[in-house]
């Protein structure tokens, strides 16, 4: 499940449930559609309520980072679970997006 909200030209993408290869394509399409429809400058992934993510999610984050970079925007991610944090650090994603503990931190970082 994915929910969208826009605040101060920032698109907040809140994902609940699981991100795996099975639902990655649909999630990607929904996010890209929003980015192209809203006039947003930044993207925040709120994963604080996410139950599960594997490397399929890394592909989504890197792809959206590249998309936002072409629009001159930044990306931040809210992460609370240790396994998810390890996954992001491992993949080097933390070098290109801001990894934050809370949505308010992410809103400032993005």
Partner 1 sequence: MNNNIEIKFLSKSENESFARTVIAAFIAPLDPTLEEMADVKTAVSEAVTNSIVHGYASASGYVYMDCSIDGDTVTIIVKDNGKGIADIKQAMEPLFTTNTDGERSGMGFTVMETFMDTVDVESITGVGTKVTLTKQIGKNRL
- Minimum distance of partner 1 from residue 48's CB (angstroms): 15
45-74 residues in contact with partner 1 (CB under 8 A) are 52-56, 58-60, 62-63
- Strands in 98-100's sheet, in edge-to-edge order, are 2-7, 10-15, 42-46, 74-78, 98-100
Task: Report whether 42 contacts 9 (CB < 8 A).
Answer: yes
Enumerate helices (H) and strands (E) in the chain, giving the number of each: 4, 7
Closest CB to partner 1 among 1 and 8? 1
Residues that bind ligand ATP (CB under 6 A): 55-56, 59
- Minimum distance of ligand ATP from residue 19's CB (angstroms): 12
Q: Which two tokens stand for residue 7?
A: 């605040």
Q: What sign for the dihedral angle of Cα 35, 37, 42, 46?
A: negative
79-98 residues in contact with partner 1 (CB under 8 A) are 81-84, 86-87, 90-91
Residues that bind partner 1 (CB under 8 A): 18, 20-22, 24, 28, 52-56, 58-60, 62-63, 81-84, 86-87, 90-91
């Amino acid at each position: 499940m994915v929910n969208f909200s826009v605040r101060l030209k920032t698109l907040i993408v809140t994902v609940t449930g699981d991100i795996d290869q099975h639902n990655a394509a649909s999630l990607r399409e929904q996010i890209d559609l929003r980015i192209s429809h809203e006039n947003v400058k930044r993207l925040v992934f709120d994963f604080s309520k996410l139950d599960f993510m594997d490397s399929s999610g890394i592909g989504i984050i890197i792809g959206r980072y590249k998309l936002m970079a072409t629009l001159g925007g930044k990306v931040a991610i809210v992460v609370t679970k240790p396994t998810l944090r390890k996954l992001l650090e491992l993949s080097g994603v933390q070098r290109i997006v801001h990894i934050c503990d809370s949505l308010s931190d992410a809103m400032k970082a993005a």
